[in-house]
Amino acid sequence: MGTLETPRSTLCNISHDDDDDNSNDGESDEGKIVHDSHVSNNPDAFDDDLIERLTHMIDEHNVLAKVFRTARDRFTADDCKDIKLCLIERRAKDGRTYNLPNANEVGALIVGDIGCIFDERDIIVETQNEKLQRINELHLSYLALQYPLLFPFGEDGYMIENYQDAMASCKEFGFPDLFITFTCNPKWPEISRYVKRIGVRPGDRPDILCKVSKIKLDQLIRDLKNKKLFGRVQSVMYTAEFQKGGLPHVHILLFLHREDKFPNPESIDKIISAEIPDKEKNPRLYQIVSELMIHGLCGNTNRQLPCMENGKCSKHSPKKLTEHTTVDKEGYPVCRRRNNSVKIVKGTFEVDNGYVIPYNLTLLLKYHAHVNVEWCNQSRSINYMFKYINKGNDRVTAAVSACDSEEVDEIKMYYDCRYILACEAA
């Protein structure tokens, strides 16, 4: 909805004056925003006057905005105390979502369990008599509060859930065939050229990271659908997420035509590899796999990685070396990882094929990014795949206490928060 402390400008004007000498005869000016004649040609520049006029218009005509603005009274009515915030690492929590940030970044915390996809969001508002009231996410005013410019008078909106669409696709086309994870590479030349020219780091421009990632994602989807890289595509669904390191990534489920599926291990080997390529025959592919497709060196040497649970890697890395691709009894593929003595040096360690994340050669060479391709056309794996692409937002456990106090009330002062990154906000 905007800042709670928006200044009131005498320049912004929604005309209601009947005695305006400059008004056009026979034409009502009511509800008309008076624009300045000067318009900036810079697409990155904000028109402060226009924003001020829009804010004034919403304040005047949107009943929900009028109620929302009363929240600023709390800033002057309550005494603010200096507090400190500490992010807590708890091994009992899901390491995929509750891992601590691993980079210096700006993030926002939202207290509450609002990250669950399958359940309703927990939306709580405080009334003027200081009582809390829980409202349903399908409330008719929900979208009007979220998108005030689309509902300028506070009119009713509506909510549509994507999960039902996903399950409908599964009912129509059967189980998904391929599960693809596509992650932004901050070293892409488009990003590197820009940040070098303006003298910043990639992480300083999350908007550029997101824009380039979206362009690459759109091209990837076109390759999958139009170029039929894996065959005729019946349906594609994906969800975008943001790692605590600040890099956007996408989980994609691909539904193929029934005649273009990969029904046996031999056909899987044609599109998926989990081995280190030959450095002499394909040096570029070797370099990309070495840089982007090797699982983190977890285990006893690095127990702090998010994949570590109870002293073991939750991803079961390193994988067992095997001469042939198979499908286990749970319906998951066991990719071919031959013991061919080919290794990659990572720091002071040598890693073999057991650490390679499965990939497709064509996608890896074209996009020069982390592109994990997994075969998933089995009934027992469908629940896991849908849960994975809908696992929810990044979260963190935080403790708040007064700066002049060393005591922390573990019952009252610990908060389960959604963690919003600059990339996600951009």
The string of pLDDT tens digits covering residues 111-168 is: 765 444 444 555 666 666 666 676 666 666 766 777 777 777 776 655 545 556 666 7
pLDDT recorded at residue 269: 93
Burial of 301 (0-12, 13-18, 19+ CB in 10 A): exposed
pLDDT recorded at residue 199: 93
pTM for the whole structure: 0.61
pLDDT recorded at residue 81: 65
Q: For the sheet containing 248-256, what is the strand order?
A: 233-242, 248-256, 178-183, 370-375
Q: What residue has token string 């050669």?
A: 361
CA torsion through residues 53, 58, 60, 65, sign: negative
Q: How far apart are CA 228 and CA 223, in angstroms?
A: 7
Q: Which two tokens stand for residue 41?
A: 């040609």
Whether residue 158 contacts residue 143, with contact meaning beta carbons closer than 8 Å, is answered with yes
Low pLDDT (below 50) residues in the chain:
1-39, 114-119, 160, 411
pLDDT recorded at residue 22: 45
Half-sphere exposure of 233 (CA within 13 A, CB side): 18
Q: What residue has token string 């697409």?
A: 43
pLDDT recorded at residue 220: 96
Beta bridge partners of 294: 356
At a CB cut-off of 8 Å and minimum separation 6, what does 206 contact?
A: 246, 421, 422, 423, 425, 426
The answer to whether the peptide bond before residue 318 is cis (omega within 30 degrees of 0) is yes
- Give residue-wise pLDDT tens across range 7-42: 444 333 333 444 444 444 444 443 443 444 444 556
Closest CA to 48 of 108, 7, 16, 76: 7
Residue 411 phi, psi dihedral angles, 5° rounding: -85, -45
* Strand, helix or coil for residue 267: helix
Closest CA to 351 of 318, 323, 320: 318
Give the start-end residues of each E strand in 284-352.
308-309, 312-313, 326-327, 333-334, 344-346, 349-351
